[in-house]
Structure 1
Amino acid sequence: MENNTSASYFNLTMFLNIGNYRYPAFVLCLLLCAFIISANLVIIVAIAREKSLHEPMYIFILFLSVNSLYGTAGFFFRFLRDLLSDSHLISRPACFTQIYVIYTYASYELTLLGIMAYDRYVAICQPLHYHNKITARMICKLFVIAWIYPAVAVGTCVYLSSRLPLCDNKIPKVFCANWNIVKLSCVSTVLNNLVGMFVSTSTVFLPLAFVLYTYIRIFLICRKCSPEFKSKVIQSCLPHIITFVNYSVTVFCDVSLSRINLEELNPLLAIILSLEFVVIPPILNPLVYGLKLPEIRKIMLRTLCSKPAQAVKA
């Protein structure tokens, strides 16, 4: 195969397998995108407007919703256009930009879940020290670390991939993915593999391990407590646990399946699994936190019900 180092476009080949289903798929994805945007905006507005929710746990939920909008914008807007297009070429700058946005979105989600786990751990296991440890200054520091490190780490991976000479321009996915581009390289990718493993470990597996550790500690504390205390802990932690388990499964599927040529075995399954981690979490997060946490649910219902009432008065 000849070198294609000067190619200015990539070809997203998995769209060819959608065929005549592109129009129903477009309508479905457009509805999903509209739901994700509206549901997360409701969460953001409810928390921002209600002063009683200006507490660390709810601020973290607000940032989860902001990150969901960020990931949705990075994926859906291009994806919806490609669904209706006969050509699925994407320019190199647009491709690497999409990689950066989607991968930082995934990293932000995990680091935010790690911060939320630490918040729940201190609140449950060290309640007397909560206000001393979870201060506004500490929250700012945690957010700075949670946002800056993934941005730099993912940016390094994208930069290394963008400098590789490539022997082909075909990406067997419906969106650009870093590992799929690395596999197109005409030269050794040892450095990319090492940096990729380090970034994956520090932005994916370490936050997941930390969340597991905090919930093991919380579980050990709850074993010695009253049923009422256990009930409050479950009510407080269940949305976070659901989000954590859901995202762990979706990230594991994406990381694992990116290393094999699943599209050669089952193209439809490959498309579904590749879309899972960019679609399911932004849908599930507002549902889980909006329905499970009574404080947010009350504010959301009050906000939604107040608008029709104001319209009637007018």
Structure 2
Amino acid sequence: MNSSSSPLTYFILGAFLDVGKLRYFFFLVTAILYLLILLVNTSLTVVICVNRSLHEPMYMFLCSLFVNELYGSTGLFPLLLVQILSDVHTVSAPLCFLQIFCIYTYGSIEFMNLAVMSYDRYLAICFPLRYRAQMTLTSAAVLIFLVWFYSSVKFIITLSLTVRLSFCGNVINSLYCQNYLVVKLACSDTQVNNIYGIFGIFLSTVVPLLPILFSYMRILQVCFAGSRQTRQKAIGICMPHLVSLLNFSFGSCFETLGSRFDMSNVPAVLKRFLSLYFLIIQPLLNPVLYGLQMSKIRRIYRHFFCSKIM
């Protein structure tokens, strides 16, 4: 336990279980998952960037999504792999704050990117004749820039408020650094952190949720008013996005509940898996939803890599 009179130099991640020799099994599984995430998201990003026929707004948003999966996974997995093999689960304070920034911006960018994609689908389905004029490559690039800039600035402020605190403890009951749990260790006044934390939740959830709800309400109106063929086409276009949105919301909800409420009745292994859910499943799910479901990407992907191998 660190005293508030001296600067805190490290944190202890207290949620790791003593699994003995099983640590090597968990390390292998975690490493395979990380390599799989790197492989599929990197390859799909390369395919979209290299192939000119995919240089359209919809695929640019997908590329931003895949890059964000790589960013968020890299913020989690390398440190997690080191901690699995370690007997003393310590992490330096600067590295802990860096991980907080990476994971929290990842979550915000993911949600904001899904909001922008829902708006793109709204324009494509509700205004198909005006879509290309309104959603140009330039406007798509501006939206992507705003998504990343907005999320980064928001959590730079969050992190700057956390770094200024004095801490009376250094044990974080988690598998990775979480801002809320770090703030709970402070022995200085955290009122500003709490107020901005509530405001930050609003910025992270309500702001992207509004365009998502608006877009899909309008899309549903078009579906019900149109022909059966129109409904089927709209459902085919929107289904991957809805599945991705629901999965990410489900995972984020569990992470939030697990860090803020008493979950002592939940088995330890399940609780730890749920805390990692949105950081592991989402980066694996999105390439499957978009890379395999979209026939154009699937066809170009197969042609690109098969021709390289042969």
TM-score bucket (shorter structure): over 0.9
Residue pair 1:12, 1:175 contacting (<8 A) in 2 also: yes
More helix by share: 1
Q: Which runs of 4+ in 1 moved over 3 A?
A: 1-5, 16-20, 263-266
**TM-superposed deviation, 1:20:** 3.8
The 5-angstrom pairing of residues 190-229 of structure 1 reads: 190-229=191-230
Scaled by the length of structure 2, the TM-score of the pair is 0.95
Q: Which amino acid aligns with 1:293?
A: M
In structure 2, the partner of 1:243 is 244
Distance 1:156 1:77 in 2: 25
Aligned residue for 1:262, secondary structure, equals coil
Structure 1 counterpart of 2:124: 123
Alignment map for 1:126-205 (pairs within 5 Å): 126-205=127-206
Aligned-partner SS, 1:14: coil
CA spacing shift, 1:194–1:19, aligned 2, 3 Å: farther
Q: CA deviation at 1:269?
A: 2.2
Partner AA of 1:46 in structure 2:
V
Distance across 2 between alignment mates of 1:194 and 1:255: 17
Residue pairs, 1:1-314, within 5 angstroms = 3-4=3-4, 5-262=6-263, 266-309=267-310
For the structure 1 residues 272 and 50, does the alpha-carbon distance in structure 2 shift closer, same or farther, using more than 3 Å as the test?
A: same
SS in 2 for 1:11: strand
Name the aligned partner's letter for residue 150 of structure 1. Answer: S
Cα distance between partner residues in 2 of 1:29 and 1:44: 22
The one-letter amino acid paired with 2:163 is S
Question: What is the letter of the counterpart of residue 140 of structure 1?
Answer: A
Q: Secondary structure at the match of 2:66?
A: helix
Instruction: Summarize deviations over 1:195-222 as a string: whole Å, max 9, x none.
Output: 1111121122321332122112101110
Match of 1:312 in 2: none
> What secondary structure does 1:16 align onto?
coil
Which amino acid in structure 1 is aligned with residue 263 of structure 2? L
Letter in 1 for 2:111: L
> Aligned-pair distance for 1:22?
1.2
Question: Unpaired runs of 5+ in structure 2?
Answer: none
Cα deviation code 1:95-152 (max 9, x no counterpart):
0000001111111111111110110001111122212221233223212221111101
Amino acid in the other structure paired with 1:102:
I
- Do the aligned residues in 2 keep the contact of 1:208 with 1:248 (CA within 8 Å)? no
Report the CA distance between 1:265 and its aligned residue: 5.0
Q: Deviations over 1:67-96 (max 9, x none)?
A: 111111111011111111111110110000
Q: Is the 8 A contact 1:12 1:176 kept in 2?
A: yes
Contact 1:235 1:292 survives alignment (8 Å) = no
- Structure 2 distance, partners of 1:19, 1:198, is 42
Letter in 2 for 1:16: L
**More displaced stretch, 180-189 vs 257-266:** 257-266
Paired residues of 2:60 and 2:140 also in contact (CA < 8 A): no
**1:24 Cα deviation from its structure 2 partner:** 0.7
Runs of at least 5 residues in structure 1 that lack an aligned partner in the other structure: 310-314
Kindly indicate whether the alpha-carbon contact (under 8 Å) linking 1:17 and 1:267 is maintained by their aligned counterparts in 2: no
Aligned-partner Cα distance in 2 for 1:19–1:206: 45
**Contact 1:3/1:186 (8 A) holds in 2:** no
SS state of the match for residue 15, structure 1? coil
**Which shifted more, 83-92 or 133-142?**
133-142
> Is contact 1:11–1:90 with CA below 8 Å preserved after alignment?
yes
User: What is the count of residue pairs matched by the alignment?
Assistant: 309
Paired AA for residue 88 in structure 2: S
Q: Does structure 2 conserve the Cα–Cα contact (< 8 Å) formed by 1:243 and 1:285? A: yes
> Does the residue aligned with 1:258 lie in a helix, a strand or coil?
helix
* 2-structure distance, mates of 1:263, 1:87: 23
Q: Which moved more, 1:266-275 or 1:282-291?
A: 266-275
Contact 1:164 1:187 in 2 (8 A): yes
Q: What secondary structure, in the 3-state scheme, does the structure 2 residue paired with 1:90 have?
A: strand
- Offset of residue 264 of structure 1: 7.4
Letter in 1 for 2:147: A
Query: 1:186 deviation in Å?
Result: 1.0
Query: 2: distance between equivalents of 1:19 and 1:56?
Result: 49
Deviates more, 1:205-214 or 1:33-42: 205-214
